[in-house]
A and B are shown apart, each in its own frame.
Chain A
Amino acid sequence: MIVCVAVVGHQNNPLYIQSFTEADDALKLHHIVHCSLDVVDERVNNPRKSGPTLNETFLGLLYPTENYKVYGYLTNTKVKFIMVTTDLDVRDADVRNFFRRFHAAYVDAVSNPFHVPGKKITSKTFAESVSTIVKSFGFSSAI
C-alpha cells in the first residue's frame, strides 16, 4: 500500500504532499520524504556511469527504512516525485508505471494557467487523480 506521495520542487520545497494512512503519522512521513531528498540529491549529483541510466527519470529505491520503501522520480524540470510504500516486495515495473501516471497528472495540474509555478499545488482535480492512481497501484500493471 502506498502511504505517502509527494511532489517536491526543484528547490526542494514541497509542492504537494499527501499521506494515505489512517494514523496520524503525517509528520513522520514528511520526515521520510524530506530525508529521501538527500538521496535524490546524491543520485543526481553522482549519476551511475552506465549509459542508459543517464536520461532515466526513475530513480529507483531511495531509502529503505524498517517499515517503508521510498521510491523517487525526477522530471526534466528537476521536480521530484517521492512515493513511500509499505509493500516490501514491489515490482519495479509497477513503480515505473505509477510514476508515469503520476507525472501525467502533475503535468495536467501545472498546465493550469492559474497555477503559479513553484507554488503548492492546490488543485482538487490533481488530488483526486492522485488518489485514484494511488488506489490502483499494484492492481493494474498493464495500464
Chain B
Amino acid sequence: MDPENTPLGRMLLEEITPVIMVLNTPLVEEACLKNGLSFIQMLSPFCSFNNIDVPVRTASDQPYRIKKFSSRLFYGSDIRQPNFEASKERLKQVITQASEKDLSKLCSDPPQINEAVDCFESAILPSWFQLFNKELIRNVSFSEHEAFDHPVACLLVVSSSDDHPVNKFVDLFNTIKLASLLNDDAMDPKIMKHYLLLHDNQDGSSEKASKILTEMRSAFGANDCQLLSINSSHDELIEREDDPWGLFKPDVLIGKQLGCFLSNEDLIEIRELMQDFSSKHIIPYMEQKIRALNQQVSATRKGFRNQIKNLWWRKGKEDTVDSPSGPTYTYNSIESQIRVLGDYAFMLRDYELALSNYRLISTDYKLDKAWKRYAGVQEMMGLTYFLLDQSRKEAEYCMENALNTYLKMGPSGHLNATRCGLWSAEMLKAREQYREAAAVYFRICNEEPLHSAVMLEQASYCYLLSKPPLIRKYGFHLVLSGDRYKRMDQIYHAIRTYRNAVAVFKGTEWSHIKDHVHFHIGQWYASLGLYDVAVTQMLEILDCNHQSKATQELFLKDFLKIIQKAGKTVKVLKLPLPKISISSLKVIFDDHRTYASPTAANVRESVWRSLEEDMIPSLSSGRTNWLELQSKIMSKKYKESNICVAGEPVKVNIVFKNPLQIPISISCVSLICDLSSKSDGTKSDTNNITAGFQNNTELKWSSDWEMGSNNASFTSTEVHLSLEGNEEKIVQLTVTPKIEGILQVVGIRWKLSDSIMGFHNFINNLGQKNIAKGRQKVKYSLADNLKFIVIKSLPKLEGSILSLPKVAYAGDLQRLVLELTNQSKFSVKNLKMKISQSRFLKIGKQENMNADFPACLEKPINGEQGVRPIPNTTSNDTFLFPVDTSIQGGTPLLLPLWLRAAVPGNISLYISIYYEMEGVSDIMRYRILRMHYNIQVLPSLDLSFQVNPCPSRLHEFLVRMDVMNKTSSEVFQIHQLSSIGQNWELSLLQPVDNIFPSRALMPNQALSCFFVLKNVNKLFSSEKKVSSVPVLLGSDLKLGSQSSDEQLFDTANFPLAAFHYSERAYQGTSNQDLNTVDFILITRPLKNTTDPGVSESSRLFSHHVCHCSTSSNSPISWLLEGPRSSYHNFSSSFSEINFKMTIFNSSDSIASIRIKTIDSAEGNESAPPSPSSANQTGWHYASLTQDIKVTSDVLGAQMAKSSSLESVSPFIWSGTSSTTLQIEPNSMAEAPLQICIFSPGIYDLSNYILQWKLLPSSRSGNDETNVSSGTCQGYPYYLTVLQSN
C-alpha cells in the first residue's frame, strides 16, 4: 500500500506543508468579507494542487517532479503557539457538535456485535474523530522546535483603495504584528516576501490598481508583485459546478452564498495566482534554501573529521548547559539549520535527504539532552520511515521513542505526546496493527477526561478492528470512555459508547458488568427525556438477585423514578419482576368433576378415577347417549377441549417469585382472557380459533386486553399482594365466564409498584413445554389447555365435612356432619357416595343426626340382643343415598358421618359423591363432587391379646390382654372389653378392682390382665351353621368402675359394629374361622378434673383386635376325666382306675386320632418328650425318677430306692396301648382309659400322646397351610392314690 494514500499519509501531506504568512491591511479583509469570506478563506481552497507537476532539484543533482503540492495560509498574528484554553474550548465544541447529529440513531437498538465485527473501519469510526484529531494536532503547531510550521514565505496584501499602498507594504512587515517566532530568534526573519495588490472591482476600475502595481514593481521588484482583482461579479447568483468553500463554516452568514461576488474569472485568477506563487516562488525558494543549507551542513557536519570535531565539541558543552528544556538554539545555530533542512526536504518529499538530516541532528539533540527537540526529530524520523515505506521496525521504534520522550518530559510534553501518539496510532492502523494502535491510544490518555474519552473510544474501535477482534477489550474501553464522556456531561457520546458496549455484553452472563452498563445508559436516556428507551434498558437490570440489597434498592428506586418521570403507565411485555414460573401454572376448573376444596383438586386424577370407577357410568356409554343427539363436530369439539360451566370460576394458580432481597408490591394481578360467544365458536373450526389467537396475540396487547376486565361476558378477580425478599407466593386467579362460548386464558397482567403494567403471555411459550396439568392426561398444547368451552350453567353440589379434626388419637370415634348443598334451583338426584377409607368413615343414618353422643351408642338396659344386620353397605363400599334424596335451592342436607381413627399415620380421606342433574344439559348428565381431607392419627393404645386353651376345661380359654398407653399425655380410662361372636363369653378372672386399681392408664403405662373366655356354643349339637351375615353378638365386660352408672356400649349396633366389620376385613383373612375371637376394647379419656371445660366425656376410643386364634397349633382338644384321688388296699390287689377322655375336633374335616399310652418313661428323660421318641410303641422299661422328684419330695427317698431297684413303673396303662378314633368335624368323641396302680402315691398321668391326622375331605381341599397331622403330648394329670385300711 502506498504510504501516501493511507489516512496518515494524506494527513501528513495536508498538515506538514509550507506555511505562508499573510500580512494584510484591514481594507483587504473588508473587500473579502463582502463575499462572506476572510482573505485566507478565500484563497485556501486554491492552495493545494493535485497536479502541479513542478520539477524539483534538491541536494542531489537529479531533479524530480512533484505532482501534489499544497501550502497553508496563516495570518501573521496567528503564527504562534495556540492558546491552551482556547484550544480546549475548540475541542469541546467539536465534540458537542458531533453529538447533536445522531440523536435519532441513539434510540435505535444497538447493533449486533457480530455485525460490528464485519463492518469496515469507515463504517464504525465516527467521522468527527478525524476532525478532533486534527484539532489536537493543531494544538501544538508553531512550536519553536519544529521547522515545518515556520513560515516559508510572507504574502503581503494591500488593497488598491489603501492610501499609499507602497508604504503600507513596508509598514505591514515592520509592525509588531509579526509572529513571535520571528521575533524571538527561533526562525530566520529573512523570509521570502511576496507583494500582492488586491483590487475590489466594485470600488472602481482597475486602472488605479494597475498604476499602483507598476509603482510596486519598481519598488519591490517585478517578479514579487502581483495584482488580484476580485468582486467583479455583480450578479449575486453564480452557478458553480463545485463550491470550493463548501467545507467552510456553513453557519456563517446563512442566506448569503459564499463568494457571491466572485465571478468565475475571479476564481481562475485566484487559482492562477496561487499556482504561480507556489510553483514559481515557494518551491524554487525552498529548493534554493535546501541547497544552501545542505552545503553548509556538509561543510560543517559531514565527513569523518567534522563528526569527531562535533563529538568533541558536544562533550565539552555538556557540562555547561543544563536547563530542563535543554539548550536553546537560535535560528542560525547549526542544529536549527539542519532541522530546517530536514523539514524543507520533507515538505518537498525528498525523504532520503530529510531522513539523513534528521538522523544527524537527533544524536546531537540527545547528547545535548534537548529532549523536546530530540523527540520531535524522532517523530519526524518515524514519519519519514513510514513514508519511505522502508523499515517498519525503525519507524515504530522512532515513534515509540518520541512518544516516550515526550511523556517523560512531564506535563509540558503531553500535547506533543498526543500528536505523536495520534500519528503513531495512525501509522500502526495503516499497517493493520490495531492492537498496538489501541495501546498507543490508551497511553496518550491524560487527565483531561474529554480528551481521554475520545482516545479510549478510538482505542476501543482499534480492538474491534483487530484480527481476531478483541470484543471484550472493545467493550471495556467503551465503558471507560463512556464514563469520561459522562463526567464531561457529553451525554450523547456517553450513550453512544455504552450503547455499543451493550451489544458486547448482550447474551453473556457477566451480570455485574451488564447491570452497570444498562443502569447507566438507562439513567442517561432518562436524563435526555427518552423514557421509553430508558425503561427498556432499566428492565434489564431489575432481575438482579446477584447484587447486594442496597444495589437492588437503588436499581428499583431509579427504575420507578424513571417510570414516574415518564408520567404514564408503562406497559411492559416481559417485566422481570416478579418472576412467573410458567411451569407452576395450574388450572383448576369444574367440568363434570367438581372439587370441594383446592386440596381435592390437587389430588391426582388417577386416585379419583380408581375411586369412582364403579360409581359413574362408563364413559363410552355416557357419550353415546348424547352423541346421538349432537352433531359430529360438536362431539369432537367437546371431546378435545376442556369444558367449564358458565357461572363457575376457572381458577389459575401461578407462582410469583420475588428474585430480589427487597420487598416489592404487586397489585391488580388478573388474568387476560378472551371469551368469544358461542355463536362464533360453532361457526368456525376450533383449530382456526386457536390459530387466530396465536396470530392476534401481539396485536391485542394494548387494546383488548386492558379492557378485558370491563368485558361483560366474564368477570375476573384482581389480586393484590406484596412479596418479601426472595419470597414465593402462589397466586390464585379466577375468571368466571357468564355466557356460553369459548373462553381462552391468554395471559396474565399485573402492576408493579402501582406504576408499571407487566404482561405475561402464556401462549407465547407455546411449544416450549407441554405442561402436564396433573389432571389432564392427554397431551394438549398449552393454548389448548387454556381454552375452555363454556356451557350453560348447571347445578353444582357443594359439600363439606363439619368439624373434622386435623389430629386424632388412634381409636378415636367421633360423629361428624356431612353437609351437602346445592345453590341451584334444579335438583340433583341419584346421589351415590364412595369413601376411599371406609375403615375411617362410615355414614350414619339421618335420623341419628340429633341423638346424643356417645349416649346413642350405649346398650339399652333392657333391650333385647336382637340380631341387627349391618346397614346398607354394598360390597364395594358405595353408599347409596335414599332414592328420594334430592338437594336444591340452597337448603343443606346434613348426614351424620362417623369417624374412627383406625390406624396411626397421616391419612388421606377421599370422598367422592356422584349425582345426576335432571334435564338441564345434554352435554353433562352427571357430576361428581370430590372431597379430600387429611387427618393425622397419633398412636394411642397398643393392644394385644393372647389366647391359650385352659387345660382344665374343655371350651375354655385363658385370655391375656396386654395394653400399653403409647401417648405422651393422654390418660385413658378403660371402659369395656367385648368379645365378638355369639359363641363366646367373656368373664373376669379376678375382680376388676384387682386388675385396675386406678382404672386409668397413665401415659406409657403397660398393663397385663387375664380373662376367661368360654365357648358357649353347643357345637356338637346340630345347630352349628354359621350364618353368612356377620352377626356381631358378643359378650361385654364392664371394666370401668362397677359402681358408676356408666352404661356399656353396644358393640353390636351400627357404628361400632360397622367399624368392627371393616377392621375384621382389614386385619386378617376374612374366612369365618370359628376358632378365632375378636375383641373390642373401649376406652374413654379420663375425666379431666383440672380442665372441666373440655367435654372429654363425649369422646370414645375403640380398639379392635380381630382374629385372635383360640386354637393352638392342633385342631383337637381333649379332656381327661376321672377321679383325682382314690383309696385302695394294695395289700390285697392292685388298683384299677378308669378314666374318660373327651376329644374335640375343631377342624372342619374328619380327624383320625390315635391315643397312645406309654408306660415306659423313656421320653421323660428329655422333657418335653420329642415326638420321635414318643413314636415308639410297645412296652419299654422306663424309670419315673423325674416324675417322682417333681411330684413329691416326701416320697423322694422311696422313689429313689425304687429307681435304684430298677423297679417297674408304679402304674401301667391297661387296655390297648393304642386306640384309634375317627371324629367328625366340629364334634366330640369319648374314649375310655384305664390304669393299674400297684402302690400308693401321686401319679402324673401325662405319659400318653395323641396322634392326630386330618383326613382330607372333599369340602376343604384347599387348606394346604393347615397342619394335616401332628402329635400332642398329654396334659399333666395328677392322681393321688392312698392306702386304705
Contacts and interface: CB of A to CB of B under 8 A. Distances in A.
A38 B513 contact: no
Contacts of B463: 38
Contacts of B479: 31
Contacts of A34: 472, 475-476, 510, 513
Nearest to A30: B512
A121 B510 CA distance: 14
A72 interface: no
A31 B473 CA distance: 9
B801 interface: no
A26 interface: yes
Contact of B476 (A12, A13, A26, A35): A35
B516 interface: yes
A38 B468 CA distance: 10
Contacts of B468: 41-42, 45
B473 A30 contact: no
Chain A CB within 10 A, most for which of B476, B479, B516: B476
Contacts of B510: 13-14, 30, 34
A44 B257 CA distance: 61
Contacts of A23: none
Given A27-B516, A31-B476, A13 B470 contact: no
B474 to A, nearest CB: 9
Interface string A30-60: 1100110110011001000000000000000
A26 B512 contact: yes
Interface string B509-544: 110110010000000000000000000000000000
B472 A37 contact: yes
Contacts of B473: 35, 38
Given A12-B508, A13-B508, A27 B472 contact: no
Contacts, number: 34
A38 B512 contact: no
> In which size bucket is the chain B interface?
10 to 19
B735 interface: no
B1120 interface: no
A122 to B, nearest CB: 11
Nearest to A17: B512
Contacts of B476: 31, 34-35
A14 B472 contact: no
A42 B435 CA distance: 12
Interface residues of A, number: 14
Nearest to B474: A38
B1057 interface: no
B996 to A, nearest CB: 56
Contacts of A42: 468, 470
B179 interface: no
B547 to A, nearest CB: 10
Interface string B463-488: 10000101111011001000000000
Interface string A1-23: 00000000000111000000000
Contacts of A13: 508-510
Contacts of B509: 13-14
Contacts of B513: 27, 30-31, 34
Contacts of A38: 463, 470-473
Contacts of A27: 512-513, 516
Nearest to A66: B442
Contacts of A12: 508
Contacts of A30: 510, 512-513
A30 B546 CA distance: 14
Nearest to B470: A38
A45 B475 CA distance: 21
B849 to A, nearest CB: 57
Interface in A54-73: none
Contacts of A26: 512
A37 B114 CA distance: 17
A73 B509 CA distance: 20
A124 B516 CA distance: 27
Nearest to B509: A13
Interface in B1171-1195: none
Given A14-B510, A30-B510, 12 more contacts: A13-B508, A14-B509, A30-B512, A30-B513, A31-B479, A31-B513, A34-B476, A35-B472, A35-B473, A38-B463, A42-B470, A45-B468
14 contacts: A13-B509, A13-B510, A30-B513, A31-B476, A31-B479, A34-B472, A35-B472, A35-B473, A35-B476, A37-B472, A38-B463, A42-B468, A42-B470, A45-B468
9 A-B pairs with the lowest CB-CB distances in the bound complex, closest first: A13-B509, A38-B470, A38-B472, A30-B512, A35-B476, A35-B472, A31-B476, A35-B473, A34-B472
